Amino acid sequence: MALLYSAGATFGVRRVAEIDVLSSTIEQIDKDLRAGKYTAQALMSFYLDRIKALNDELQCFVHIDEGRAMRQAAAADERLAAGETGALLGIPIANKDNISRAGALTTAGSRILGGYTAPYSATVIERLEAAGAIILGTTNMDEFGMGSSNENSAYGPVLNPWSKDRVPGGSSGGSAAAVCAGLCAAALGSDTGGSLRQPAAYTGLVALKPSYGRVSRWGLVAFGSSLEQIGPLARSAADAAHLLQVMAGPDPRDANCAHAVVPDYVAGLEQADLRGTKIGIAEEYFVEDIEAEVKAAVEAAIELLSQLGAVIYSVSLPSTQYALPTYYLIASSEASANLARYDGIRYGQRETGKSLGEVYQNTRTRGFGSEVKRRIMLGTYALSAGYYDAFYGKASQVRDLIQAEFEQVFQTVDLLVTPTAPTTAFRLGEKLADPLQMYLADAFVLPANLAGICGISIPCGFDVAGLPIGLQLLAPAFAEANLLQAAHRYQQETDWHLRRPTAIEKD
């Protein structure tokens, strides 16, 4: 399916060929805008031209509203000229296709929502736009967030900019590939079972999964309501801090959004210091199936953290071995309930039928993809009479156990360090025929969603094929400041996050 462009007015803004923003952080772009090196409109034209040149091949974006983006850029220039401050003012950001934005197509990567235009904006979109950020468009994703490779989309697969025969991870693969390829400065994604952190590991980016309740979920197309969080994908921990600073905080429209005080994440980076920080290494995350190069890169990162003053402890999270089946029972059960609203009556695609039941059946049969159907069936079975206690009930008990183990470990250590994924990015089509192998790609990231804690993935190396390797840091609930400071301190000593793929550059 081709990228959809909404027609807009001609603004006559000449692209500035000298713009060198592809490796710039949000902070650097902000400085350049304020110094008059280029305007927000020229910056936007640069990104739009780049999207037009590269997106047909990579398939990162599914919709671009060029006219709206340029109008927002013009408004940003006026605010900059008036001396307004704010690090996100004029910064082009991509939005995942399951986060509502008023007047924009929001299809969650599914045929069943084909043509659906959101009537309102999610809280995170409202806050970012109020801060002056410019939403370029919506990015490709696994349908309803169900997938680890971005191959389960109605729009086709997204390609990894580091190697176009590889997946970018999922379900936020479109957002990750867009940032990686330099099609935007940063992006939004959602994380139900690692869907931010795993794509970040596969594309060499930073992704932060906030604690459950730290960021409002209002306006997020629901999949697993007790698991998912919206978060940023960016080039650096500092960029992630700028985005989280704007997005975090209470929201009366989301009953599960916490009223906890939001720290100054950006200012906290100045005090980033690992001396005396207690870091736990859980043996359950270093299994036999982990690739040797991934293990070596993570061990080297742990050694560097130790050299920077961290104290390393060996810890155990024995219930981690049950996290994968627990997650898929809970997530599928919640998906079964959430996706029942797609019946062809109220919105989205509608198929014809001789009866109401036939309309439901035909709409869902043709509108949902195979992975979504698989999870709905699993979840419906787990919730059915006679099986609820044996499956969903038991999974909920194990979830409580996993959460309790994290709480106990965090009484001893400040952070946990693990690989983000057991392998680097796998080849397109490699795991489509074996759903279990696909699910195992998220084995290290989904426990954090079950426990409601926060996690971040940062690049820590490359394998011999030139593919990025991710390092995951985990912290207790609402300790995002600690994660960002540790990640920032690590990035002050390394350059993994500064490296970019060159295979996708324009001639």
Percent of the chain scoring above 70 in pLDDT:
95
Between strands 92-96 and 186-191, the pairing is parallel
> 368 in a domain, yes or no?
no
- Residues whose CB falls within 8 Å of the CB of residue 183, separated by 6 or more in sequence, listed in order: 47, 50, 51, 54, 55, 58, 60, 61, 94, 136
Whether residue 70 lies inside any domain: the answer is yes
**The dihedral of CA 38, 42, 46, 48: what is its sign?**
positive
Q: Output the six-digit token pair for 212.
A: 């459950």
For the cut 90, the answer to whether the pLDDT of residue 284 exceeds it is yes
The average pLDDT across 369-378 equals 94
Q: Residues 427-446: what's their mean pLDDT?
A: 90
By annotation, the residues acting in catalysis are 96, 171, 195
pLDDT at 439: 84
Q: What is the mean pLDDT of residues 310-316?
A: 97
Distance of CA 373 to the CA centre of its chain: 23
Tell me, what's the pLDDT at 14?
Answer: 37
Q: What angle do CA 115, 118, 121 make, to 5 degrees?
A: 155
Using alpha carbons only, how large is the chain's radius of gyration in Å?
A: 22
CB 145 within 8 A of CB 169: no
In what helix (H) or strand (E) does residue 208 lie, and over which residues does it extend?
A: strand 206-209
Q: How confident is the model at residue 86 (pLDDT cuts 50, 70, 90)?
A: confident
Identify the CATH number of the domain in which residue 140 sits.
3.90.1300.10
Which of 122-136, 204-218, 372-386 has the weakest average pLDDT?
372-386
**Are residues 171 and 190 in contact, defined by beta-carbon separation less than 8 angstroms?**
yes
Tens digit of each residue's pLDDT (9 = 90 or more) over 482-500: 999 999 999 999 999 999 9
CA separation for the pair 211, 480 (Å, rounded): 8
Pairing of strands 134-139, 92-96: parallel
Is position 433 within any domain?
A: yes
Nearest to 7 by CA among 73, 64, 51: 64
Q: Provide the Cα torsion 184, 190, 194, 199; round to 10°.
A: -20
pLDDT over 50 (residue 246): yes
Residues 93-110, mean pLDDT to the nearest whole number: 97
pLDDT bucket at 505, cuts 50 / 70 / 90: low
Share of the chain above pLDDT 90, in %: 85
Among 20-34, 89-103, 249-263, 385-399, name the one with the lowest average pLDDT: 20-34
Domain assignment of residue 409, given as a range: 4-325+393-498
Residue 269 covered by a domain: yes
Query: Which residue in the block uniquely carries the two structure tokens 């690049």?
Result: 459
Cβ 174 vs Cβ 60: under 8 Å: yes
Amino acid at position 490, single letter = Y
- Whether residue 159 has pLDDT greater than 50: yes
pLDDT for the residue numbered 19: 56
504 found inside a domain? no
In-domain check, residue 246: yes
How many distinct structural domains can be found in the chain? 1
C-alpha span between 223 and 146 (Å, rounded): 8
Asked if residues 477 and 459 have their Cβ atoms less than 8 Å apart, the reply is no
Q: Name the burial class of residue 397, with classes exposed (0-12), middle (13-18) and buried (19+) by CB atoms within 10 angstroms of its CB.
A: exposed
Q: 3-class SS at 302? A: helix
Give the pLDDT confidence of 108-158 residue by residue, as tens digits: 999 999 999 999 999 999 999 999 999 999 999 999 999 999 999 999 999
Q: Is there a domain that residue 352 lies in?
A: no
For the beta carbon of residue 178, count every other beta carbon within 10 angstroms: 35
pLDDT score of 85 more than 90:
no
- Residue 142's nearest CA partner among 479, 368, 473 is 368
Return the residue matching tokens 């061990």: 299
pLDDT at residue 10 in the model: 36
Neighbouring CB atoms inside 10 A of 137's CB total 31
Whether residue 165 lies inside any domain: the answer is yes
β partners of residue 207: 233, 457
